[in-house]
Structure 1
């Protein structure tokens, strides 16, 4: 995409954004936009975290089986990546 096309698309986006702001600020606006993050219960967050953890473990085990890698090898790799700052 050349620079002119990028600039044209940026201007279109900027115009659309400006129009949306004008609509929101108009006195007759019927938009009801929440001002904060969605509220979720701690229990729902914990369930999501647990489901995510289980999905990760299943995928990791499948990859270990697919590439015939023992747990010790994967653990060593993760420790190396962590020491290099590649993962938190």
Structure 2
């Protein structure tokens, strides 16, 4: 692409941008501006990730309980003991 063609395309883009700005400045402007998907807050994403980690932990724990034939009460007692000793938060 030669320099003239580049300059022409730049001017077209500049004109289109200037026109869009003028439209935005008009009172009662009804431009249909695409906004994309809604933006989730960081806190929402972190909460969702935490929930997924907890679900994965529960599934893994249940799987291990079945594999080693351990009842819920026994595992609950083990977890309480570990927590009291400071091994888990």
| TM-score, normalised with respect to structure 2 | 0.52
CA RMSD of aligned residues (A): 1.1
Query: Number of residues paired by the alignment?
Result: 49
Extract structure 1 runs of 4+ deviating beyond 4 A: none
- Kindly provide the CA deviation profile for residues 32-88 of structure 1, in whole angstroms up to 9, marking residues without a partner as x: xxxxxxxx6111111101111110000000000000000000000011111112111
Identify the residue that residue 74 of structure 1 maps to in structure 2.
75
Match of 1:49 in 2: 50
SS in 2 for 1:85: coil
**Match in the other structure for 2:64:** 63
Q: Equivalents in 1 of 2:87, 2:69: separation in Å? A: 23
- Give the structure with higher Rg (CA): 2
Structure 2 unmatched runs, 5+ = 1-40
Q: Which SS does the other structure have where 2:63 is aligned?
A: helix
Instruction: Return 5+ residue gaps in structure 1 as ranges.
Output: 1-39
Q: Which residue pairs with 1:21 in the alignment?
A: none
Partners of 1:74 and 1:50 in 2: CA distance: 21
Farther off after superposition, 78-87 or 64-73 = 78-87
